[in-house]
Structure 1
Amino acid sequence: MGCASSNTADTKADRLARWRATGIVGLRDAKLKSFPDEVVELDRAVRTLDLTNNKIAAIPEEISKLTNMQRLILADNLIEHLPTNMGKLQSLKLINLDQNRVSMLPDELGQLVRLERLSISGNRLTTLPETIGSLRNLLLLNVSNNQLKFLPESVGSCYSLEELQANENSIEELPSSVCNLIHLKSLSLDHNKIPPSLLKACKALQNISLHDNPISMDEFQSMEGFQEFEARRKKKFDKQIDSNVMIGSKGLDEGVDL
């Protein structure tokens, strides 16, 4: 591991004191090539760690010492693997690993039972661990721009899930358990290979995006459950209009993208 550069020991001391007082460690665009030692020294004081846009290739096992950390943001790095002991970070509510080189998530991910937002778009994932179903408080799952051919059946156990983004993969079929997600409001599946039939059982769904999939608008509108989906979609946008919320140029068609 390495440290962020500093001109004097006092500068480092001041920085550590500030991080310890606020709980926020921000080292975006710091030209780091390795995980900074000094962050580990803070252990339970860290609540937010943001190392976006560096050249960090590895996350050390010692990250497990940051047991009070709630937000871990590691986007735009060179990370290939995650330590298995990340499961000890029981306070985590948000993980952002967008634009890295991760090919596999450890099974221990399922131990992060407080996790609410997981974004790992733009990586090299070919599968997701079955243990992802243990994330019962997950609200957002973004696995877009990977190499996924399927989602695990256990994803239907993420009962709190409201938004699922899986654009730009090679998914051919969704598990039937997706329709167990009664809170799911937004489903984005652009650029896959899915002929979906989701509308009947996904009773909370308000937005679905299916650009570049083998389905036409006529086929979509003929699906069982379409009328109920359409009613939810229109109700959502009527509320936005009543609240003077500006909607896009597509108007009420924005909830369906084919």
Structure 2
Amino acid sequence: MVASFTPAELRMQTPTSHSLQALRRGDLAGARELRLTGGLTSLPAEIFGLADTLEVLDLTGNALTELPAEMGRLSRLRVLFCSGNRFERLPPVLGDCPELSQIGFRACGIREVPGEALPPALRWLTLTDNRIAHLPEAIGARPNLQKLMLAGNRLRGLPPGLARAGRLELVRLSANDLDAIPAWLSALPRLAWISWAGNPCEPAGAPAAAADVASADIVTGELLGEGASGRVHRALWRQGSGERPVALKLFKGAMTSDGLPEREMAACLAAGAHPNLAGALGRLTGHPDGAQGLLMPLLPANWRVLADPPSLASCSRDVYDPELRLGLGTARALATAAARAAAHLHGRGLLHGDLYAHNILWDGTEGEAVLTDFGAACLLPQGPMGAAWERVEVRAWGLLLGELLALCPPDDAGMAPLRALEADCTRGDAAARPRMADVLGDLARSGRERA
């Protein structure tokens, strides 16, 4: 899944110096959102003049090492971004902010997370790419906690108190030092998206057979898209006397919110070929800048993303075009494509980890689709725990099915069996959910009954 720490909704797009001047003149009285990025070593006292209105504060990319003791005066503050600063501990004063629900402290050098730093309304916590070895028990005592981003730290275990986080839906644990993922995590009633690639506990996988493609044989074209882990270009692959149009993904090599790009590459190659996966055709070698890359099938130009990633407000749920409407047959086709892709991955010992509409590309009409983005993919353990994690991903698929059905006419006669399948896949008792192979059988039966 792709995330950004700088919300697009922020209206203050002027440089920090201009914003500071406006703040000190009083021009920003009544502002609900404020962006001050770059150059700050302390928080301007004038911010507290916005205490009765300020809801979103972006302090990304400064040189802050602490926050003032008066932070609790920002009684309406809901969202705080402090990524790229110099905090060694998550500031305890955050716990004094009564409405603060979303916190982003990525790549700050944080080593310590005091329990008192976790505000009571906490819903979305991002601590990616820090140096955290331990989490406090208090993290499980935040009843609204829904999204927890911890990739790229030094965690050796998870606090047992996290088992009480009944609303937790998404967890990122990649690139830590975990020797085991506790079984109780897979039993959380709402958990649907998780990744743990790059930990000692991840099973070893057989090296994937993939063609090595020399960079000299690739003609790179226009940029098609960009995510946290890399850029995708249109390209031509010279093969003998001919050329094949392909998509080329060049990886950035930096830690993402999901984990390490090299783990994404390995998972994409291990996934193999499937008609409902945007898999890899080959691995790029000899790039002049040393970049790693994958060649992938080039989809038709009219194909598009099914939905946008979650917003600040939706937290863990995708955002669909409000004008999008689907016939039930199209919704079933989309859901079936996603289920087939996931079932194929499960059969190869892989968990996708990010089964979302924003990672599905579709034809825009009939429901032909492929599942993309292996940034959160990880290798499944053998036996009962592997099956338990598959059922966590079945919940993600069930949520997707529900979202697709919400775009269909509610009075369609074929809706009932699909709604029943949605309920089975999203039930709170994770062990009672079907596995993805069973889901495919239910989809086939409901399709025959409709016909």
TM-score class, shorter = 0.7 to 0.9
**Counterparts of 1:84 and 1:96, CA distance in 2:** 14
The alpha carbon displacement at 1:53 in A equals: 1.1
Residue 61 (structure 1) aligns with = 69
Give structure 2 stretches of 5+ with no counterpart. Answer: 1-15, 204-350, 354-375, 408-435, 437-451
CA RMSD of aligned residues (A): 3.3
The alpha carbon displacement at 1:125 in A equals: 0.5
Give structure 1 stretches of 5+ with no counterpart. Answer: 197-205, 244-251, 253-258
Residue 26 (structure 1) aligns with = 35
**Counterparts of 2:389 and 2:156, CA distance in 1:** 26
The alpha carbon displacement at 1:122 in A equals: 0.9
Q: What letter is aligned with 1:60?
A: P
Residue 181 (structure 2) aligns with = 174
Describe the shift of the 1:158–1:237 C-alpha distance in structure 2 as closer, same or farther (beyond 3 A): closer
Does the CA contact (< 8 Å) of 1:121 and 1:142 recur in 2? yes
**Counterparts of 1:7 and 1:105, CA distance in 2:** 31
Query: Structure 1 residue 44 and structure 2 residue 52: aligned?
Result: yes
Does the CA contact (< 8 Å) of 2:178 and 2:201 recur in 1? yes
The alpha carbon displacement at 1:78 in A equals: 1.1
Residue 200 (structure 1) aligns with = none
Q: What secondary structure is seen at the aligned counterpart in 2 of 1:154?
A: helix
Describe the shift of the 1:49–1:169 C-alpha distance in structure 2 as closer, same or farther (beyond 3 A): same
The alpha carbon displacement at 1:47 in A equals: 1.1
**Counterparts of 1:50 and 1:157, CA distance in 2:** 30
**Deviation digits for residues 120-145 of structure 1 (CA, Å, limit 9, x no counterpart):** 11111110000001111111000111
**Counterparts of 1:48 and 1:59, CA distance in 2:** 16
Query: Structure 1 residue 71 and structure 2 residue 70: aligned?
Result: no
**Counterparts of 2:136 and 2:198, CA distance in 1:** 22
Matches within 5 A, 1:1-258: 5=17, 11-14=22-25, 16-18=26-28, 20-28=29-37, 30-110=38-118, 112-194=119-201, 207-208=352-353, 209=376, 211=378, 219=382, 223-225=386-388
**Deviation digits for residues 124-183 of structure 1 (CA, Å, limit 9, x no counterpart):** 111000000111111100011111001111111111111000111011122333134111
Does the CA contact (< 8 Å) of 2:186 and 2:389 recur in 1? no
- The count of aligned residue pairs is 224
Q: What letter is aligned with 1:63?
A: M
**Counterparts of 1:222 and 1:72, CA distance in 2:** 36
Does the CA contact (< 8 Å) of 1:109 and 1:131 recur in 2? no
Query: Which of these two proteins has the greater Rg computed from alpha carbons?
Result: 2
**Deviation digits for residues 177-206 of structure 1 (CA, Å, limit 9, x no counterpart):** 31341110001111012258xxxxxxxxx8
Describe the shift of the 1:239–1:46 C-alpha distance in structure 2 as closer, same or farther (beyond 3 A): closer
Residue 202 (structure 1) aligns with = none
Q: What letter is aligned with 1:155?
A: L
Q: What letter is aligned with 1:45?
A: T
Describe the shift of the 1:46–1:130 C-alpha distance in structure 2 as closer, same or farther (beyond 3 A): same
Does the CA contact (< 8 Å) of 1:59 and 1:81 recur in 2? no
Does the CA contact (< 8 Å) of 1:80 and 1:102 recur in 2? yes
Q: What secondary structure is seen at the aligned counterpart in 1 of 2:186?
A: helix
**Counterparts of 2:168 and 2:393, CA distance in 1:** 21
Q: What secondary structure is seen at the aligned counterpart in 1 of 2:46?
A: helix
**Counterparts of 1:22 and 1:227, CA distance in 2:** 46
**Counterparts of 1:7 and 1:235, CA distance in 2:** 45
Describe the shift of the 1:21–1:102 C-alpha distance in structure 2 as closer, same or farther (beyond 3 A): same
**Counterparts of 2:396 and 2:192, CA distance in 1:** 10
Does the CA contact (< 8 Å) of 1:156 and 1:178 recur in 2? yes
**Counterparts of 1:228 and 1:130, CA distance in 2:** 26
**Counterparts of 1:106 and 1:227, CA distance in 2:** 33
Q: What secondary structure is seen at the aligned counterpart in 2 of 1:63?
A: helix
**Counterparts of 1:34 and 1:84, CA distance in 2:** 16
Does the CA contact (< 8 Å) of 1:81 and 1:103 recur in 2? yes
Tell me the TM-score normalized by structure 2. Answer: 0.44
Whose RCO is larger (CA < 8 A, sep 6+)?
2
Does the CA contact (< 8 Å) of 1:207 and 1:233 recur in 2? no
**Deviation digits for residues 34-76 of structure 1 (CA, Å, limit 9, x no counterpart):** 2222213433332111011112122222222212210011011
**Counterparts of 1:117 and 1:44, CA distance in 2:** 23
**Counterparts of 1:8 and 1:113, CA distance in 2:** 30
Describe the shift of the 1:32–1:106 C-alpha distance in structure 2 as closer, same or farther (beyond 3 A): same
**Counterparts of 2:393 and 2:94, CA distance in 1:** 41
